Every structure is written in C-alpha cells, then in structure tokens.
Chain A
Amino acid sequence: AQSVTQPDIHITVSEGASLELRCNYSYGATPYLFWYVQSPGQGLQLLLKYFSGDTLVQGIKGFEAEFKRSQSSFNLRKPSVHWSDAAEYFCAVGAYNNDMRFGAGTRLTVKP
C-alpha cells in the first residue's frame, strides 16, 4: 500500500523568500503524485500533479515540484512566497486507480 511522509509539520518563511516543502512516498509501482493546498476551513485545491514524463512539473500560483524516483521524493517549491500562500499543504500519492493516501500536512506561515 502507498504511504506519504511529510517531515515538516510547520514551516515559517519570510515573504519573498523561497520555499521548499518536503514529501517522501512509498509505493511499489510508478506513483501518481499530487500536492494540494488547504486554506483554513476550506476544501482541497490541487496545486499540481505528476503522472509521468517530465519530472519537473509546474502548477498553479507559481508552484513547481520535482519527482525524484531515486529519492522517492516529490518536493514542492516556490521561488518567492507571498503572504497569501499561508495555508496547509498536503502531498498525496495515488495508485493507478487514484485511491490517494495523504501525508500529515505541512502548515506554512508567512512572516511579513
């Protein structure tokens, strides 16, 4: 069965600074990988996804993620964080049928 580890429970960055959120997955086959963002009291919004092909994927709101099979990682990055990026970020891994397993989430705080 697939599983996801997000090692950082909480990250604080200054506005304008770069961001990297870590995600490691465990899955026996080629994974489908996702990053979702959740603002307080809101649903889950898909930031980006990886199914196959180019290992660097671009998403919405200026986010990107890189799939590294050798490290079983799918880290999320943004070159310059905005105050509106403060939210909870979830990495998820899916099987071919998309039954996803989510990580515990990383809460991002942005300092002015």
Chain B
Amino acid sequence: EPEVTQTPSHQVTQMGQEVILRCVPISNHLYFYWYRQILGQKVEFLVSFYNNEISEKSEIFDDQFSVERPDGSNFTLKIRSTKLEDSAMYFCASRERGMNTEAFFGQGTRLTVV
C-alpha cells in the first residue's frame, strides 16, 4: 500500500540552526500539507501546497518557514533559524486530485531544538 514517507524520524538541532524536514508524498498525489503537533497538544495546520505554490498557510507559518518541492518526489519544510518552541512532531500529508479525497499522513519527524 502506498504511503507518505518522512525523514528523518527524529532530528535534534541547536537553537538558531536551519533544519530541513523531508517528505515523499504518495506518487500520484497533487496536494501536500505540513502539520505540527507540540507534545501533548493538538495537531495544527501549517501550510498547504498545490501546483508548485502555497495555497494556504496558517499564522504559525511565518517567515522562518518555507516549503519546496525541489523535484518530482520530495516535499520539504525548512525552518530557517530554529527556536526552542519549534520543538514538535511535524507531519507531512498528501492528497490526490478530487474533492472527496482524504489526506494521508506520514509517521512524522520529531524535531527537538536544544
């Protein structure tokens, strides 16, 4: 069964460093998403991406965040200068074309900023 793959599963970084979280969506999917879950809290929408551009972003997704689809398979989330409060689980999701389709989630990347 096709699945969304995220790497790494766990990343530790120092405050102020840049991190790139990687996702390989399901191959025929066209819509891509990043969500964040701070430990013990709810899952929060960060950004959606379609047709090589951001279609919607939340207030959390400020200038330190960026997304990219550098080739036909990867979808990345970059955090430019990490802060302690960026420590969270980051989930990538993808969805195929069509209105009545659900998003499939990856297993997540746990980011720890020290």
Contacts and interface: CB of A to CB of B under 8 A. Distances in A.
B42 A102 contact: yes
A90 interface: yes
Given A44-B105, A97-B48, A99-B33, A52 B41 contact: no
Contacts of A49: 102
Given A99-B33, A102-B43, A43 B48 contact: no
Interface residues of A, number: 23
Interface in A36-94: 36, 42-46, 49, 51-52, 90, 92
Contacts of B50: 97
Given A44-B91, A49-B102, A100 B56 contact: no
A38 to B, nearest CB: 8
B55 interface: yes
A101 B60 CA distance: 13
B48 A104 contact: no
Given A90-B43, A103-B42, A105-B42, A98 B56 contact: no
Contacts of A25: none
B62 to A, nearest CB: 17
A100 B45 contact: yes
30 contacts: A32-B100, A36-B105, A42-B107, A43-B91, A43-B105, A43-B107, A43-B108, A44-B43, A44-B105, A51-B99, A51-B100, A52-B100, A90-B42, A90-B43, A96-B99, A97-B31, A97-B48, A97-B55, A98-B31, A99-B45, A99-B56, A100-B33, A101-B45, A102-B35, A102-B42, A102-B45, A104-B41, A104-B42, A105-B42, A105-B43
Interface of A: 32, 34, 36, 42-46, 49, 51-52, 90, 92, 96-105
Interface of B: 31, 33, 35, 41-45, 48, 50, 55-56, 91, 95, 99-108
Instruction: Please list the 9 inter-chain residue pairs (A to B) with the smallest Cβ-Cβ separation, ordered nearest first.
Output: A43-B107, A102-B43, A51-B100, A104-B42, A44-B105, A99-B48, A43-B108, A102-B42, A99-B56
